[in-house]
Amino acid sequence: MCAGRPGVPADAVARHGADLTRPGAALGRLVVEQADLADIDLGAAACLPDVVDPSYRPFLRALIGVQRLRLQAVRRAGASLATRTSGPPAPAAAGLLLREAAARARQALRVGR
């Protein structure tokens, strides 16, 4: 959300006839459409860790992973996003971040040898 407005293109909102302030079928369809688009972009981003310096790979994997968790939460929330926020489950996000921090530490140890 930017300046109190969702980051959804106005034409997509109009195409679905969605009311962003009230849950409903139109808003649910809009959420599904936008989630599908985000899923495509996250899929394309999956190769990014392979093209950066190895020391940055855990960070990028964590960033993409947290966004995937967030996307799953948005899909679960659906049209209820009109009345509540959604975010990645804290335990899953923490686990992902800890795994990638450990991967970064192992990588640093290998480089330091």
Per-residue pLDDT of the chain (113 residues; tens, 9 = 90+): 444 556 888 899 999 999 888 999 999 999 999 999 999 999 999 999 999 998 899 999 999 999 999 999 999 999 999 999 889 999 999 999 999 999 889 888 887 65
Domain segments of the chain as ranges: 10-112
For residue 12, count CB atoms less than 10 angstroms from its CB and return exposed for 0-12, middle for 13-18, buried for 19 or more: middle
Whole-model pTM?
0.84
Do residues 12 and 34 make contact, with C-beta atoms less than 8 angstroms apart? yes
